[in-house]
Amino acid sequence: MMVVMMGRLAIVLAAFAASAVLAPAHAQIGGSGDAVEVKGDNLEYFQADGRAIYTDNVLVTQGGAQLTTDKLTVVCARAEAPAGERQEAQPCEEIRQLVAENNVLYTAPDLKIRGDRAEYDYPTDTIVITGDVIMARGNEAVIRGTRIVYNVSQGVTRMTAGSDRVSGVFIPQQRNPDQPSPPAPTPN
C-alpha cells in the first residue's frame, strides 16, 4: 500500500514539475515566448491549494532573463467548481503569480534588480521588488530605493523610497579624445 501511495506521489510531483517548466507561452519573466524553467534544491507541492514552494538555490529562467532567490512560491490558476460541488485538486495548467523571498536578484539583458522580496504577476506582466532595492542599468546607472515596479512587456520602471528619497548615480560614457564633441543644442 505504501509503495502505491509513494508511486502516486511521484507521478503528481512529476506532473507538476513538467507543468512548471512547460508553462503557457504568455507566462514570462523576460518578455520572450520561451518556456519558464524553475529549479531548486527542494520542492513542496500543495495540489489542493494549487501552489508549489521551491527552496534553496532557486533559479527561474526564461530566455535571457533569470530570477534567483532562497524561496519561491508558484501560484497556479484554478478553475472554479460549479456552485454546490466540491473543489477537486487540479494540475497546474497556468501560473498566475511567483513570489520570491530572501536574496532576490532579477537579471535581464542590461538590467539587474536586487531586493528582499519580489512578486511577479502574470496577468499584468509586472514584477514588484521591495526591501533594500538596488537597480543597475548596464554600466550607466545605479539607483536605490525601497520599492520598484517593473512592467516587463512595456519596459517601464517606477521606483519609490518610502519616507526617504530615491537616489541614483549616473556614470557618463568615456569619450574618445580624437572624436569631436557633439554640437551643442541650439536655443529655440
Q: What is the mean pLDDT of the chain?
A: 78
Say if 74 falls within a structural domain.
yes
**Residue 132 pLDDT grade (very low, low, confident, very high; cuts 50, 70, 90):** very high
Distance, in Å, from the CA atom of 102 to the CA atom of 40, rounded to the nearest integer, reads 14
Q: Return the DSSP state at 17.
A: H
3-state secondary structure of 156: strand
Determine, yes or no, domain membership for 188: no
Split into its structural domains, the chain has a count of 1
- Between the alpha carbon of residue 167 and those of residues 90, 111, 135, 170, the distances in Å are 46, 17, 11, 10
Query: Residue 95 is part of a domain; what is its CATH number?
Result: 2.60.450.10
How many C-beta neighbours within 10 Å does residue 174 have? 6
**Domain membership flag for residue 186:** no
3-state SS assignment for residue 112? strand
Classify residue 185: in a domain, yes or no: no
Look at residue 178 and tell me if it is in a domain. Answer: no
- 182 domain-assigned: no
Model pLDDT for residues 56-75, shown as the tens digit of each residue = 999 999 888 999 999 999 99
Indicate the Cα dihedral angle 78, 92, 114, 108, nearest 10°.
Answer: -120
Average pLDDT over residues 70-82: 80
- Domain with 54, as residue range(s), is 2-79+88-170
> Cβ of 183: how many Cβ atoms within 10 Å?
6
Query: Is the pLDDT assigned to residue 176 strictly greater than 80?
Result: no
Verdict on whether the full-model pTM lies above 0.85: no
Q: Does residue 183 fall inside a structural domain? A: no
The answer as to whether 50 is a domain residue is: yes
Higher pLDDT among residues 60 and 47, named by residue: 60
